[in-house]
Amino acid sequence: MPAADLPTPPPGSTTELVAGLRHEASRLGFARLGVAPADPAHRPPFLHEAFRRWLDAGLAGAMEPWLREHEPLRRDVRVHLADVRSVIMLAADHATAAEGAGGGAGRGRVARYAWGADYHDLLRARVNALGAWLEQRMPGCRTRGFIDSAPFPEREYGWLAGLGWIGKNTLLINPRAGSYFFLTVLLTTAELPADLPMEVDHCGSCTACLDACPTQAFVAPRVLDASRCISALTIEDHGPVEPALRAGLGDWLFGCDVCQEVCPWNRHAPGSAEPAFQPRESAALPLAELLALDDAGFRARFRGTPLWRAKRRGLVRSAVLVLGNRPDPASADALVAALDDVDDVVRGAAAWALARWIEAGVMVARCQAALARQ
């Protein structure tokens, strides 16, 4: 139907409708909800211009081809839903506690968001349920929900919807909840009263996140070089890691939380009791076991978890690099065996790791013998 004929709540009812929407979102498990106007005129042009400059500067790393191909789809939310009038942004806190989160000998750390089940499935079902609730309350309106499944500037619209400010670590930060939360989008043709963006930059003069990054991935405040970011390298990039960056990975196997761990706003971040976000196993995984996984073993163990995105090559490669940074004699057999892995990226990482053991004076004779056979 023409935009002018789209359903709009009667005067005086929008407050009650949004109040009901917030209540239903909370019932479904979302912690916060904000509304932003979909009209591009209300989105400051500098947001997309900054994204374009970031892409053109070559800072997207392995994500560059996909982001550049879909860059036009980020300019105007109307490409995702015809006649959209409002963007509903939802936050779901995911911080949980886990034993062994700090790693240890022979183990690799996993970013906090990936400790439980795949959040996509859970939050997609919930946002679709919220959309159905709104469509029932406003017959004739349409909705579309998604989470990480469309080229959409979630972070920017989270700011426009009043859910937080964009911190120097490029993450959306809420003054009461920190940054440990997922963002979910619900577009609707209903015109809802918008919340106000958070205008104050609560980062102030703090540079803790910039200073703590192990690979110096921040070019400037709010400017991330993804080709140096540990999260991007261990999740999105499945090829060889630049030798100069390998030591900076430390014991991070999948993702990285350093810039969030040092953020003062996360000191009192609310925890989550959501069963799906609770750790399926220790937050630090045994590296030797990972090196022993073939493709079938990887699929059986990690299907349905966020770690699936790294693929077998990326996860095993990262496990080998962690062993290179944190030698563990108990994992020596697995590391030596990785020299004969079916994947050339894994084999190259294993040779580098054994050379690091030699430099560190760990099992020198065995490492030299293993490398000499190659």
Q: Where are the alpha helices (DSSP H) in 103-147?
A: 119-137
What secondary structure letter does DSSP report for 174?
B
The 3 state secondary structure assigned to 339-360 is HHCCCHHHHHHHHHHHHHHHHC
Amino acid residing at 371: L
Q: Please tell me the distance from the alpha carbon of residue 213 to that of residue 221, in angstroms, as a whole number.
A: 12
CB atoms within 10 A of CB 267: 7
Contacts of 47 (CB under 8 A, 6+ apart): 153, 156
Active site residues: 148
Between the alpha carbon of residue 212 and those of residues 86, 244, 277, 302, the distances in Å are: 38, 17, 26, 30
In the block, residue with structure tokens 């499945």: 238
Contacts of 374 (CB under 8 A, 6+ apart): 339, 351
Q: Are strands 284-286 and 143-146 parallel, antiparallel or unpaired?
A: unpaired
Nearest CA to 154 out of 171, 168, 137, 167 is that of 171
Q: Which two tokens stand for residue 316?
A: 């095993």
